[in-house]
A = this chain, B = another copy of it.
Amino acid sequence: MEEEVPGAMGTSASLALRLGQTIFSTASLLFMCLGVNFYTYNAYCFLVTVMGLVIPWSVSLVLVDAYCVFFKCSPHQPRILLVIIIGDWVLSFLSLAAASSTASVTDLLVDVGSSFCPAKLCGRYQLSAAMAFLSWFLTFASALFNLWLLPSL
């Protein structure tokens, strides 16, 4: 079964997914952190923590994928793949939870009024939540493609 599953580790589709994850999670972290006192709300601290885990994970997998695409290797040892799948699933759930927490808290702050959140800051929080949702979606796609590959090993 050396047929390539599109999107599995070591293909160019996987490289694109990982690059997307890196970009969106970095964007989410930057929108949340730069010049904003995010640490007043627990949900925002949670988002920053989770993004701090997702970014190094995606960056290291971007490097592995890029190496495998350019030098034609195939990182399909079952044990490595299992670690990657479990990591992807855990990070995918964490980023979904963080994204929806951020979205709901921001929504509440917008409702309560401008004393808690000036219009410009609230827009940045909303952008951060949207980026986190996109990052979750791509992580989930990677996890699903890799899970699909697992029984064929």
Residue numbers of A with Cβ under 8 A of B are 41-43, 46, 93, 96-105, 107-108, 111, 147, 151
Least Cβ distance of A74 to chain B in Å? 21
**B111 A42 Cβ-Cβ under 8 A:** yes
CA distance A99 to B97 in the complex (A): 8
The 12 listed contacts between A and B (C-beta, < 8 Å) are A41-B108, A43-B107, A46-B104, A97-B97, A98-B100, A100-B100, A100-B101, A101-B103, A104-B104, A104-B105, A105-B108, A108-B108
CA distance A41 to B107 in the complex (A): 9
Copies of this chain: 2
Contact of A100 among B97, B107, B108, B111 (CB under 8 A): B97
CA distance A104 to B93 in the complex (A): 15
> What residue of chain B has the Cβ atom nearest to residue A133's Cβ?
B97
Please name all residues of chain B whose beta carbon is closer than 8 Å to the beta carbon of A103 when the two chains form the complex: 101
